[in-house]
C-alpha cells in the first residue's frame, strides 16, 4: 500500500489520520495531501489505489458515510460533504463551515450526526433529516476537548482530554 515514504514526488510522508471500510473500499483521510484516498481492498494482500479526491478546503481529519455521501471533518474548516460516486458533479460542499474545530464525527441512526467540537469542548448532535439544512439538536458540554466518538445502543463513548472516557446517554 503506502508506507511513510512518499510515492508521488511530494517530499512529505503520507499522514492517514482515519478511515472507514465501505464495501471493498478503504476510504482514508490523507492530511499530508489534503485528500480522501480510496483503496480497493477486495484483495487485502494486493490493495490498489482506486481514487484520490482532492479537498481544497484544507486537511481532512475524519470521514463517515451517510447515504450516498461522505461527511468529512476538516478540523478548523468545519464539516464538508462529498459524493461517493466519482462521476458526481461539483466540488465538496460545506455542511458546517461556521464551526471552529470538528475533530471527529459519528453517524447515529436514523439521521443524527455526533460531532466532537474542540472549540466548545464537547459533543454536538446534529439532525440531518433535511440534508441541506442541518439543525443542532443537542449539546453535551464536557468541560474539555473531545477527540473521538463511538456510538452504540443509545449511548456515545466520548474521549475527553481531561476526564478520560465519558459515556453519554443519547436517548434520555
Sign of CA dihedral 134, 62, 66, 55: positive
Segment 111-153, tens digit of pLDDT: 888 988 776 678 888 898 887 778 888 888 888 888 788 888 9
Residue 21: band (very low, low, confident or very high) from pLDDT cuts 50, 70, 90? very high
Taking alpha carbons only, the member of 80, 43, 48, 44 closest to residue 64 is 80
**pTM (2 d.p.):** 0.78
Average pLDDT, the chain: 81
Could you read off the pLDDT of 94-109 as tens digits, one per residue? 776 556 577 788 888 8
pLDDT, residue 100, reads 59
Amino acid at each position: 500500500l503506502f508506507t511513510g515514504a512518499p510515492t508521488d514526488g511530494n517530499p512529505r510522508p503520507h499522514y492517514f489520520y482515519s478511515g472507514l471500510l465501505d464495501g471493498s473500499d478503504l476510504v482514508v483521510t490523507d492530511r499530508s495531501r489534503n485528500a480522501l484516498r480510496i483503496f480497493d481492498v477486495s484483495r487485502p494482500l494486493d490493495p490498489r489505489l482506486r481514487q484520490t479526491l482532492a479537498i481544497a478546503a484544507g486537511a481532512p481529519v475524519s470521514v463517515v458515510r451517510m447515504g450516498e455521501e461522505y461527511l468529512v471533518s476538516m478540523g478548523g474548516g468545519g464539516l464538508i460533504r462529498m459524493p461517493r460516486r466519482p462521476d458526481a458533479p461539483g466540488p465538496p460542499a460545506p455542511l458546517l463551515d461556521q464551526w471552529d474545530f470538528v475533530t471527529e464525527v459519528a453517524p447515529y441512526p436514523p439521521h443524527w450526526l455526533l460531532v466532537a467540537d474542540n472549540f466548545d469542548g464537547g459533543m454536538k448532535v446534529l439532525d440531518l433529516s433535511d440534508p441541506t439544512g442541518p439543525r443542532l439538536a443537542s449539546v453535551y458540554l464536557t468541560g474539555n476537548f473531545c477527540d473521538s466518538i463511538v456510538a452504540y445502543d443509545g449511548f456515545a463513548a466520548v474521549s475527553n482530554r481531561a476526564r478520560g472516557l465519558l459515556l453519554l446517554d443519547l436517548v434520555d
